[in-house]
């Protein structure tokens, strides 16, 4: 007897199509997992059998421009809420939880802000603060190479965007090359974590799936982060839990601390022996909290 599901399908949103993956318990508590940057609906997550035992129905999708989802040029972070609502309507879900990992974090907060009567709880793992965050040194604690990518996006010139496009295209051709580049920027806990061959394969597959139709999802994410997000943090109604590794060199823990000070019903946990990719191990207990 089949005890856990893992299925993929498409959802129409106007003239666009979103590719969706659902795994875990068919009638379990629904949780949307919003992937990182770059990333896809096939990104690392607990196995369907583990989700089944937790009683969780995990829903993920390719953001516009990634994988099988139609691009939405000039999209904003807040646009993710309409996509999540369309998928929830298709699945006939009145209430659900959301969790965003890394670049998915701002998009999860958008859902919590715009869909307060449907989002029961929200979580952000190793997320980012808005680019114009007051009283935050946005780059402090970032690896130099990662900071330069964000500076490149801020400048917005054709030459700098060409650099970002070239990196995305290189990753599409050789997904493992991005992981090799990231390892040069990692702190100790991430270097230890990414020794796992299984994790390397999962991440490389996610990158390959994300960029198989071009670099636009990644480029559009970066542009969306540097613009106004389209919602106010202090309007978020559902409870929010933020998790961060203290040694994160990609999105520093100061970003989560800053968010926690501005989201009304939020709490933050900074784990002192973890970094960015420790979010993978933090996900199962976060899922338990989201569905409690």
Mean pLDDT of all residues in 159-182: 81
For the chain, the domains span 5-290
Percent pLDDT > 70 in the chain is 94
**pLDDT tens, 105-145?**
999 999 999 999 999 999 999 999 999 999 999 999 998 87
Question: Are 40 and 83 contacting, i.e. CB atoms less than 8 angstroms apart?
Answer: no
CATH fold of 5-290: Rossmann fold (3.40.50)
User: Model-level pTM?
Assistant: 0.94
How far is 107 from 89, CA to CA, in rounded Å? Answer: 18
Give yes or no for residue 2 having a pLDDT over 60: no
Going by pLDDT thresholds of 50, 70 and 90, the confidence category of residue 1 is very low
- Averaged confidence pLDDT in the chain: 92
How many residues belong to the chain?
292
Dmax over Cα atoms in the chain, in whole Å?
Answer: 56
């Amino acid at each position: 007897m089949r005890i856990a599901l893992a299925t993929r399908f498409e959802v129409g949103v106007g003239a666009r199509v979103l590719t969706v993956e659902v795994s875990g318990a068919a009638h379990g508590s629904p949780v949307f997992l919003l992937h990182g940057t770059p990333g896809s609906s096939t990104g690392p997550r607990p196995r369907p059998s583990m989700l089944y035992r937790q009683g969780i129905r995990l829903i993920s999708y390719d953001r516009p421009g990634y994988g099988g989802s139609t691009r939405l040029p000039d999209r904003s972070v807040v646009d993710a809420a309409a996509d999540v609502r369309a998928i929830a309507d298709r699945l006939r879900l009145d209430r659900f939880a959301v969790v965003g990992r890394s670049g998915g974090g701002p998009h999860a907060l958008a859902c919590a802000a715009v869909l307060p009567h449907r989002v029961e709880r929200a979580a952000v793992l190793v997320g980012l603060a808005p680019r114009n965050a007051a009283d935050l040194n946005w780059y402090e604690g970032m690896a130099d190479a990662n900071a330069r990518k964000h500076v490149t996006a801020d400048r917005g010139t054709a030459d700098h965007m060409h650099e970002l496009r070239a990196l995305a295209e290189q990753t599409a051709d050789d997904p493992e090359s991005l992981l090799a580049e990231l390892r040069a920027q990692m702190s100790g806990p991430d270097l230890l974590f990414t020794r796992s061959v299984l994790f390397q394969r999962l991440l490389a597959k996610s990158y390959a799936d994300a960029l198989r139709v071009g670099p636009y999802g990644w480029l559009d994410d970066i542009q969306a982060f540097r613009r106004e997000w389209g919602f106010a943090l202090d309007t978020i109604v559902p409870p929010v839990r933020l998790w961060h590794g203290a040694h994160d060199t990609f999105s520093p823990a100061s970003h989560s601390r800053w968010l926690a000070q501005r989201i009304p019903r939020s709490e933050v946990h900074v784990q002192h022996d973890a970094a960015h990719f420790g979010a993978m191990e933090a996900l199962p207990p976060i899922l338990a909290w989201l569905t409690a």
